Structure 1
C-alpha cells in the first residue's frame, strides 16, 4: 500500500505542473503563491515573483484595465471570467492571456484566486470542456426517471402547501371577523355601562351595571386570547414591541385596573430591586391579567392574590401567588397547553383554557420562561422570569476562542 501511495503525484506537483497558470494574490495584487507553469510562461522564478505586484507584469493597457474594471468587478461580483489581457515576458515580448478569478475571504484577509490560460491553448480547453459537458448530459439523462419521480413528489407537496395556505387564509379571515364583529360591540357595551355607572342609580341597578362591566371585561380577554391563539396556530407567533419600562409602576397600574374588575378580592403588590427592563407593556398587562384572573378563578373564594415584581442583575421576575385548591400533579406538565384547566373551584369564573397558553407565549416572546408550583400548604405560584438587558447583551456576544 505504501508503494502505491508513493506512486501517486503529490498535490504540490499537481499545483506546480498544472496545464494552466495558478496564482494566489492579495486584494491589492501582491503575489502570495504561484505555480511553476506560470513561472515558465513569464520567465521568472518563484522567488522573484513572490510578493511582487501582479500589475508590474502587465502591459500598460492591462494595468489600466486592472485598475478600472478588474478590481471593481472582483469587489462587486466576487468573480471575473474570460478576461483577455497581455502580460510582459521577462525578455520584453507580450504574452496574451485569458483569466478567470474569484474573490475569497480568509481569516488572514481577502485574496484573489486566479487561473490563467494562454489564448492559443484556449481551443483545446474548450474542446475538453465540450467533451465534459457531453458526458455530464449523458449522466443527466440516466437520472431523468428519478427526476420525474421527484417532480411528482414535489407536485404533491405543492398541493399540500396550497391546502395549508387555504387553512391559514381561513384562519386570518376568522381573525378579522373576531376583531371587528366582537371587539367593537364589546367596547361599545363597556362604554355604555361606564356611562350608566356615572348616573344616580339604586344599588341593585348599580350592581347589575357592575356585572355587565365585569362580563364585558371577561369577554374582551377571551377575544384577545382567541386572537393570539389563532396567530400562534397559523405560525405567526405573538408579536412584541420592546421598550424600556418601569416594571414596578407598570405592575401597580395594572393592579389598579384589575382591582376594579375583581372588587371582592385583595390584590397585593410586593416589590424588590431596581433596574432596567425592556418589554412590551401591553403584553405584560395581558400576562398579568391572565394570571390574576386564573388566581381568582382557582383560588380560595374571596381570597387574595399576591403579585411580586423583582429585578436583579441576572433576571426579572413576575410571580403571582394565591391560596386554594392545589393543581393536580398530573396536570402541571401540560398546564400551559391550550384547553387545559385546573381544579373545578369557581367554575363560573373560568375561561376556555387559553389564558395560561397565552401567558407562556408572551413570556417566550420576551426570551423568558414560566413555571408553576402548587401545594395545599404553600398555595399556587406562577413565576415568569425574563433575562435583563445586560444578560441579553452578553448572550449576543460571540464566544471567546
Structure 2
C-alpha cells in the first residue's frame, strides 16, 4: 500500500513481525491509543491488549494467523495510554516480505456498531414483547368471545323459554277471562241496582282490557317464537271495516271522541280482523297518551287498490329520543303510566301486522300538529 494511503486510512493500520513487534503504524492507530508512532513501533501488539486479550491472542489469534493466513472481525479490547479500554474489530492477513513473514492488521472502532447492535437487540426484545402481548390479547379476546357466545346462547334460551311460557300462560288465561265476561254479560241482563251495574261495567271493561293484552302477548310470541303472525286476506271495503271498528271502540272508550274520515273509494284485499286490531291498538294508544278534550281522528284512504289508515290525536308530543325505538316490544311513548295502555306491545303488533300486509307504519309527532300514526297496506 502506498505510504500516503497507509497514513491517511480511515481505520487504524499496523504491520507486525512474527513475534508481534509493531514494525509500522499509521497516525490513527496512535491517536486511538494515545501513543506516538515512534512509541508504538517499540512495542509488541499483544502487549497493548488487556489480560484477556493477551490470552486470546496467544491461544487463538496468533495460531489462526499462522495456520490460515488471515482472520476477520475479531473483537479485541486494547488499552489506551491512560488505561481505559478501546474495543476494536481486527482484520489480519499474513504475507511474505523480503526474508520474513509479516502481518498486516486493520482495526475498526466498534462504538457505532455496538450502538447499532444494542438498538437492534432492544428492537428485537420490544418486538418479542409486543408479539407476546398480542398473543396474550388474542387469547384473552378468544376467551372473552367464547364466554360471550356462551352467555348469549344462555340468554337466548332463557328468552325463548320466557316467550314460550308467556304464550302458554296467555293462552290458558283466555278461558277464565271468557268465562268472567260471559258471566258479567249474563248478570247485566237482569234487573240490577245502579251500584251493581257500575261494578258489572268495571268487570266488563277490565276483562276486555285483559283480553286485548292477552291477544297482544299471543301475537308477540307468534312473531318472535313461532312462524310469524298469520293473516287471512280477502276483498273488503276498507271504509266499512274501519267504520265498524270505530263504532266498537266508541263503546270501549266512552270518554274519547272518535271521528272517522274517508278518502277515495274501492276495494282492497286485507284481513278484516287484523285491520280492526291495528285500529284498536292505535286508538288505545291515542286514548292513553292524547288529549281527550279534543277528538281522535281515524282516516281511511283508498288509492288504486292500495289502502292506508291514520290515527291522529292532540296532546303532548312523543319525545324525539323515543321515536327511533317506538315500535320495539316493551316500549312506551312516554314515561307516564296509564290504565288503558297494555304491556307495551301494541305498536310492535301494529308494525308486524302492517308488514304481513306488505306495508309499514310511520309516526310524526310535534307540539303544534299533534301525533299521527299512519299504516299503509298493499293488496295481499
The answer to whether TM tops 0.5 is yes
| 1:354 matched residue in structure 2 | 345
- The answer to whether 1:178 aligns with 2:170 is yes
- The answer to whether 1:305 aligns with 2:296 is yes
| 2:185 matched residue in structure 1 | 194
- The answer to whether 1:377 aligns with 2:368 is yes
Deviations 1:82-101, CA, capped at 9 Å, x for gaps: xxxxxxxxxxxxxxxxxxxx
- The answer to whether 1:318 aligns with 2:317 is no
Q: How many residues align?
A: 230
1:278-289 to 2 correspondences below 5 Å: 278-289=269-280
Q: Secondary structure at the match of 2:362?
A: strand
Q: Structure 1 residue runs of 4+, over 4 Å off?
A: 160-174
CA distance 1:171–1:300, shift in 2 (3 Å): closer
CA RMSD of aligned residues (A): 2.5
Residue 365 of structure 1: how far off its partner (Å): 0.5
**Structure index of larger Rg:** 2
Alpha-carbon distance between aligned partners in 2 of 1:333 and 1:251, rounded to the nearest angstrom: 28
Residue 334 of structure 1: how far off its partner (Å): 0.8
Alpha-carbon distance between aligned partners in 2 of 1:163 and 1:299, rounded to the nearest angstrom: 37
Structure 2 length as normaliser, TM-score?
Answer: 0.56
Residue 173 of structure 1: how far off its partner (Å): 5.8
Residue 273 of structure 1: how far off its partner (Å): 0.9
Deviations 1:55-107, CA, capped at 9 Å, x for gaps: xxxxxxxxxxxxxxxxxxxxxxxxxxxxxxxxxxxxxxxxxxxxxxxxxxxxx
CA contact (8 A) 2:268 2:306 kept: no
Residue 163 of structure 1: how far off its partner (Å): 11
CA distance 1:314–1:251, shift in 2 (3 Å): closer
User: Which residue of 334, 352, 358 maps to 1:367?
Assistant: 358
- The answer to whether 1:238 aligns with 2:236 is no
5+ unaligned residues in a row in structure 1: which ranges? Answer: 1-156, 393-401
CA contact (8 A) 2:361 2:376 kept: yes
Residue 340 of structure 1: how far off its partner (Å): 1.0
| 2:251 matched residue in structure 1 | 260
Deviations 1:18-39, CA, capped at 9 Å, x for gaps: xxxxxxxxxxxxxxxxxxxxxx
CA distance 1:377–1:220, shift in 2 (3 Å): same
Residue 349 of structure 1: how far off its partner (Å): 2.1
CA distance 1:301–1:167, shift in 2 (3 Å): closer
Residue 191 of structure 1: how far off its partner (Å): 1.2
| 1:214 matched residue in structure 2 | 205
Structure 1 length as normaliser, TM-score?
Answer: 0.53
Residue 304 of structure 1: how far off its partner (Å): 2.7
Alpha-carbon distance between aligned partners in 1 of 2:345 and 2:193, rounded to the nearest angstrom: 37
| 1:272 matched residue in structure 2 | 263
CA contact (8 A) 2:307 2:377 kept: yes
Q: Secondary structure at the match of 1:275?
A: coil
CA contact (8 A) 1:363 1:386 kept: yes
CA contact (8 A) 1:271 1:310 kept: yes
1:112-123 to 2 correspondences below 5 Å: none
CA contact (8 A) 1:325 1:345 kept: no
CA distance 1:377–1:169, shift in 2 (3 Å): closer
CA contact (8 A) 2:261 2:297 kept: yes
CA contact (8 A) 2:239 2:262 kept: yes
Residue 302 of structure 1: how far off its partner (Å): 4.9
CA contact (8 A) 1:225 1:355 kept: yes
5+ unaligned residues in a row in structure 2: which ranges? Answer: 1-148
CA distance 1:306–1:345, shift in 2 (3 Å): farther
Deviations 1:275-327, CA, capped at 9 Å, x for gaps: 22111111111111111100100011454311100101263110001111110
CA contact (8 A) 1:325 1:343 kept: no
Alpha-carbon distance between aligned partners in 2 of 1:233 and 1:374, rounded to the nearest angstrom: 28
